[in-house]
Amino acid sequence: MLTPTTVGSTSGFMGVAIVQPGDRIAEHYHPYSEEFVYVICGQLEVDLDGDPHPLRPEQGLMIPAHMRHRFRNVGTEEARIVFHLGPLAPSPPLGHVDTEETDSAPATAVQAPADAALTTERRKVRS
């Protein structure tokens, strides 16, 4: 991710979420931030305040602050989503509110080479 910690950003952060077939990113919302997503590859379905919508490669979406959302990989291949959230919450724990229980730990962060400030980290739940 490109975050305040990794690159000194002051207006938001960016990363890549990888969702395997049949997996999902649990429902949550961001009380301080809008979330911008762009699908690189894969067949996703996104629930916005409970309403499902298809989300395909080369499509983008802006999710307003406070809107509950969840992503599901409904295809047979890995899905990759570039996301950006901004503005920043007053502190990281205040920026993400889970609205459903998960039965697995958050995805492991993967650190890029030292010369790149990029990690991948998103909460995933196996369906």
**Residue 41: domain span:** 4-126
Question: What's the whole-number average pLDDT of the chain?
Answer: 85
pLDDT at 109 over 80: no
pLDDT at 14 over 70: yes
Total number of domains in the chain: 1
Which token pair is 107?
């995805």
CATH code: domain of residue 90:
2.60.120.10
For 14, left (φ over 0), alpha (ψ -120 to 50), or beta?
Answer: beta
Helices assigned H by DSSP within 1-127: 4-7
pLDDT at 23 over 80: yes
Residue range 36-76, pLDDT digits in tens: 999 999 999 999 999 999 999 999 999 999 999 999 999 99
* Biggest CA pair distance of the chain: 41
Neighbouring residues of 96: CB distance < 8 A, sequence distance ≥ 6: 28, 30
Q: What is the pLDDT of residue 76?
A: 98
Q: What is the pLDDT of residue 103?
A: 63
